[in-house]
Amino acid sequence: MDFGSVLRGSWKIIWKNKVLWVFGILASCGGGGANFGSSVNYQVGPRETDNFPELFERWGRDFEGFINEGGLAIILAIVCAVILIGLICWIVGIFGKVSLIKGILRANEGSALSFGALARESWGMLGSALGLNLILILIPLAGLILLAIVAIPVGIFTLGIGLICLICLMVPVAFGYGVYTQLANVALVREQRGVSAALSSAWELFRTKLGPLAAMAVILILGGLVIGFLLLLPVAAVALPAFLAFRSDPEAFGRGLLTSGILLLIALPFIIVANGIIQSYLHSAWTLTYLQLTPGAPPKPTRAKAKTN
């Protein structure tokens, strides 16, 4: 396998077709939902900390009063809203992933790309892609439940040594499964033969080409660590005013926090675009890897139908 060709080709594709960056931004939505934080400013003085039972009892009474005054409905509404937003983000992320892979395949064939055309083509595959990725979520979930059942007696009878071994074993398994999910999505979009066929094709490729796939995964992980560190620098710079204000004068923390918030609003578009570029490159690399390792994969049915018409 020519790793240099894949890495160079991936960059050429996403640089020439910057519309893929938009789908990269959409694909990044599937990596995690929105973070909702709430802060409760509880003033705890030194005398209160001397008697934690009374403090916890007072918190319990306050929480009970909150529930009795309709707080349970508020909590349920927030939970439902978070679940709904997370589901929407997941669907948008899958749509962006499918559009990315389809666009990369088109660009590799030398076709011109447009946002509207890619969006329309990808919309027709969204149902299959959602089904595939739902299965890809349920598989490790079932594995984690089984692992938890096995880990308890193993940890007890081996005094924790077996549990540590299981955790160490799960690290390469998790990385390998991440590669398999990438291959399954590429197989679904390229071959267009259904979910079960995509899972089978991805497993066959993973089983027979484990060496090149592992090498590509290591290359992309190391490159991702370097790029992640570089992206962390502007984030640290944004948080610096608030941190320095808190260290020098806690009373000035509000002004420092406001400065950091303004800097974050300025930097946020650049961070989002950078994340979209990274997602585009990673999907391009895995798509070209799939193409290089499966030169004899069946053609797309949609293109064949277009010729007969």
pLDDT at 214 over 60: yes
Identify the weakest region by mean pLDDT among 9-13, 115-119, 123-127, 253-257: 253-257
**Mean pLDDT of the region 105-109:** 89
Which residue stretches of the chain are H helix? Answer: 3-16, 19-28, 46-49, 52-66, 72-108, 115-123, 126-157, 161-191, 195-208, 210-248, 253-293, 301-308
Between 35 and 202, the more confident residue is: 202
Residue 246 banded pLDDT, cuts 50, 70, 90: low
Domain extents in the chain: 3-29+52-297
Q: Say what the pLDDT of residue 59 is.
A: 66
Least confident of 86-100, 163-177, 264-278, 295-309: 295-309
The whole-number pLDDT of residue 67 equals 66
Mean pLDDT of 142-156: 80
**Quick one: average pLDDT of 107-126?**
87
Q: Take residue 94 and report the two structure tokens written for it.
A: 């899958």
Please tell me which residue, 46 or 295, carries the higher pLDDT value: 295
Q: Tell me if the pTM is above 0.85.
A: no
pLDDT digits 0-9 by tens, 284-305: 999 999 999 986 544 444 343 3
Q: 104's torsion region: left (phi>0), alpha (psi -120 to 50) or beta?
A: alpha
What is the chain's mean pLDDT, rounded?
Answer: 79
Separation CA 163–CA 204 (nearest Å) = 31
- The residue with greater pLDDT, 36 or 261, is 261
| Highest-scoring range by mean pLDDT, 9-13, 233-237, 304-308 | 9-13
Residue 249 has pLDDT above 70, yes or no: no
Distance CA 137, CA 134 (A): 5
Give the pLDDT confidence score for residue 2 in this predicted structure.
Answer: 84
The pLDDT, as a whole number, for residue 63 is 59
